């Protein structure tokens, strides 16, 4: 029996993986902060106990799928005992058929943690040493090279997971903790990890899960939690700078339509605009404005709907985190049964749903940005917020950039999960395309952050141009933060670096921190 020894590298943060589900925060810690893995000893005992069932079936003269037979359309082919190690290795090698650019390190670490979590439920029949090897690779900071294309989301994320399984076999390519590309054999040797020779059932157990799409869903929910609150900050700055009304955000008006996300978003807007001199400057009876445009007035409704969508997606993700997805699976009473739990439909649907919500929030943000620049709608600000009209173009093309991103996000909102393409000689005749849904959602989330950054940068310039009137404390703090990276109004400058600087402020959460320093924690 092979053994695996974790690298001696010191890891400050650890996550314990046992029989129970890993949490959202566990996934983020391992994927993004490089947290290490500790395997629960009692769970390893349960894994060992389940393995005895597989060993007994392996010696049975009757064929058992995934243990003594081929796979997929070859499930009726009996494999003799002397060929089964080759069977498992061949399965992994043949399924590691990805193509295209490398998938991001955080995605690979997330999917590996989630596969390990299923292995540790004791429902897959793998050996404890195989689970330990998986943990050791994560702890050593070794990242298998996983390619963009290859998964149909059923039977799970086969190709991506096969690339990871190939690594513990000492085959294929990886990047070490420093990002250096090397062979798996060299990386394992450097970390003191002995390659695994897979036994019966283990190849299937390592590749038959929804872990890639689930990992990307979990990462997306973390990002959206930040971005949807940032959207409220951007909207507040625009309402303020465009002399919009805050009366529509009143709590009693929101209560007439008891949508939870809407209420949270409106509460954020009230907190962000509380005490604003700019709002007070036109709040009296002399104000002639009757109703603001929808992009201002209805921002809680749209942002709130996106929040509710994210909450629904989080519910589905939590259920999947608590799942033991494998085929065949070892039941608690010791049966080994085929099943269809690897089908990614539940995750694929919500991934697509989130792409729709992200596109709509970005679309509304872009409309607010455009409003700042249009002299017929911006209530006294110069055209395109230009310093010298006619000579300068101001932020005209920044809006083009936002518009181009939004247009792309609308295309990305086309559901992947409504598509299906048969595979494996029509044995796998309906697939989820959940991996594709997850990949496009990652691009959409990146786009949302950029569109919001452009709105915040634009609104900050509008607020400057409203001087001597001043914004409220929270929005003023955001404007001040932007000014640490981007100069105020003036003649035209090279805009791309300024946009990227604000994109980083959004991505890092600094925008939210600046606002929350004055409002307290935002919803």
> Strand runs (DSSP E) across 176-296, as ranges?
181-183
Distance of alpha carbon 162 from alpha carbon 89, whole angstroms = 10
Cα–Cα–Cα angle for 75, 77, 78, rounded to 5 degrees: 115
Please name the residue that has the structure tokens 């404390």.
473
125 close to 331: Cβ distance less than 8 angstroms: no
For residue 7 the two structure tokens come to: 């690298």
Q: How far is CA 386 from the centre of its chain?
A: 37
**First-to-final CA distance of the chain:** 52
Alpha helices in 59-199 (DSSP H): 84-95, 105-119, 128-139, 158-168, 184-191
66 close to 155: Cβ distance less than 8 angstroms: no
Distance of alpha carbon 448 from alpha carbon 451, whole angstroms = 5
For residue 173 the two structure tokens come to: 């390519």
Distance of alpha carbon 447 from alpha carbon 244, whole angstroms = 26
Q: How many CB atoms lie within 10 A of CB 60?
A: 10
Instruction: Note if 294 is an active site residue.
Output: no
263 close to 255: Cβ distance less than 8 angstroms: yes
Q: Which of 231, 244, 305, 304 is nearest to 273 (CA)?
A: 244
For residue 51 the two structure tokens come to: 């393995």
Helices 496-508 + 510-519 axis angle, to 10: 60
Residues pairing with 99 in the sheet: 149
Burial 166-189 (b: 16+ CB within 10 A, else e): bbbbbbbbbbbbeeeeeebeebbe
| Active-site entry in 65, 294, 349, 400 | 65
312 close to 194: Cβ distance less than 8 angstroms: no
Give the catalytic positions in this structure: 65
């Amino acid at each position: 029996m092979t053994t695996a020894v974790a690298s001696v590298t010191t890891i400050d943060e650890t996550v314990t993986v046992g029989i129970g589900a890993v949490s959202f925060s566990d996934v983020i810690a391992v994927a993004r902060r490089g947290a290490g893995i500790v395997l629960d000893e009692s769970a390893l005992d349960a894994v060992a106990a389940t393995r005895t069932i597989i060993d007994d079936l392996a010696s049975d003269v009757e064929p058992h799928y995934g243990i003594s037979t081929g796979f997929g359309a070859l499930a009726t082919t009996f494999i003799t005992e002397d060929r089964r190690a080759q069977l498992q290795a061949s399965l992994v090698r043949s399924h590691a058929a990805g193509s295209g650019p490398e998938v991001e390190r955080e995605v690979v670490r997330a999917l590996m943690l989630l596969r390990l979590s299923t292995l540790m439920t004791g429902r897959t029949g793998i050996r404890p040493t195989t689970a330990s090897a998986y943990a050791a690779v994560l702890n050593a900071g070794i990242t298998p090279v996983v390619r963009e294309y290859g998964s149909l989301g059923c039977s799970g994320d086969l190709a991506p997971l096969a690339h990871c399984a190939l690594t513990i076999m000492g085959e294929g390519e990886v990047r070490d903790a420093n990002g250096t590309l090397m062979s798996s054999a060299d990386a394992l040797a450097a970390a003191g990890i002995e390659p695994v020779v897979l036994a019966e059932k283990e190849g299937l157990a390592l590749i038959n899960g929804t872990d890639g799409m689930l990992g990307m869903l979990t990462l997306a929910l973390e990002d959206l939690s930040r971005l949807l609150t940032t959207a409220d900050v951007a909207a507040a700055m625009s309402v303020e700078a465009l002399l919009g009304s805050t009366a529509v955000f009143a709590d009693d008006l929101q209560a007439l339509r008891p949508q939870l996300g809407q209420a949270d978003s409106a509460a954020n807007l009230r907190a962000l605009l509380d005490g604003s001199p700019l709002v007070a400057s036109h709040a009296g009876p002399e104000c002639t404005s009757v109703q603001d445009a929808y992009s201002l007035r209805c921002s809680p409704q749209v942002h709130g709907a996106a929040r509710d969508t994210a909450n629904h997606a989080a519910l589905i993700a939590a259920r999947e985190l608590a799942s033991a997805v494998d085929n065949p699976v070892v039941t608690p009473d010791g049966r080994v049964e085929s099943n269809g739990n690897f089908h990614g439909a539940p995750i694929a649907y919500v991934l697509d749903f989130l792409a729709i919500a992200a596109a709509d929030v970005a679309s509304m943000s872009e409309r607010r940005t455009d409003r700042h620049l249009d002299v017929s709608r911006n209530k006294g600000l110069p055209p395109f917020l230009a310093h010298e009209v006619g000579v300068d173009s101001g932020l005209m093309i920044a809006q083009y950039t936002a518009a181009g991103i939004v247009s792309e996000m609308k295309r990305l909102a086309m559901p992947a999960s409504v598509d299906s393409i048969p595979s494996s000689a029509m044995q796998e005749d309906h697939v989820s395309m959940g991996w594709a849904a997850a990949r496009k959602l990652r691009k959409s989330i990146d786009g949302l952050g950029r569109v919001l950054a452009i709105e915040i940068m634009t609104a900050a310039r509008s607020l400057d141009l409203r001087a001597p009137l001043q914004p409220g404390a929270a929005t003023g703090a955001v404007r001040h933060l932007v000014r640490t990276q981007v100069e105020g109004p003036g003649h035209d400058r090279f805009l791309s670096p300024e946009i990227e600087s604000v994109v980083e402020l959004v991505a890092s959460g600094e925008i939210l921190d600046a606002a929350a320093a004055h409002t307290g924690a935002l919803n």
